[in-house]
Amino acid sequence: MKKIIATALISSVTLMLITGCGGSGPSSHDPSLSENVLYVNIHKNEKLEKAILKAGEASGWTITKFKSNSVIAEKVDGDTTYASTLKFSNGHIEFENAKGTSDGDIDDLRDAIEEACNEETTH
């Protein structure tokens, strides 16, 4: 009887751990998050950072390294400054705190990053 209870307990714990760790990430649970996330085919942070830096230079955005997996993107247009924090990891780039930006303001950076990532994966 003790073996059955122990086996049932171990099975239950294992099932809970597997269920809790499953899924494809936060975007599968929060549809609003996917609007702020760009999915790319680069999964190494160093290559993602390189593509973001290249894209920022090409599209007129100043990119400043902030942490090992995030940068700050800024663009000055006349009297207006646009800024966003970009967190990147494992094939996705999340645009956070897009201050002073609307979708159209940051679209050029998103497009440039997507293009740079495509170029990086073809090389």
In a shared domain, residues 16 and 59: no
pLDDT of residue 1: 75
Output the pLDDT for position 48. Answer: 93
SS3 labels along the chain:
CHHHHHHHHHHHHHHHHHHHHCCCCHHHCCHHHHHCEEECCCCCHHHHHHHHHHHHHHHCCEEEEEECCEEEEEEEECCEEEEEEEEEECCEEEEEEEECCCHHHHHHHHHHHHHHHHHHHHC
- Note whether residue 117 is domain-resident: yes
Residue 58 and residue 15 share a domain: no
Q: What is the CATH number of the domain that holds 58?
A: 3.30.310.80
- Quick: pLDDT tens for 7-66: 766 766 666 656 554 444 444 445 445 678 999 988 899 999 999 999 999 999 999 999
Q: Residues 68, 92: one domain? A: yes
Please give the residue range of the domain that contains residue 108.
36-122
45 and 81 part of one domain: yes
Does residue 87 form part of some domain?
Answer: yes
User: How many domains is the chain built from?
Assistant: 2
pLDDT at position 33, please?
Answer: 52
pLDDT per position as a tens digit, 56-100 = 999 999 999 999 999 999 998 888 888 999 999 989 999 987 655
102 or 93: which carries more pLDDT confidence?
Answer: 93
Does 108 lie in the same domain as 61? yes
Q: Assess whether 44 and 91 both reside in one domain.
A: yes
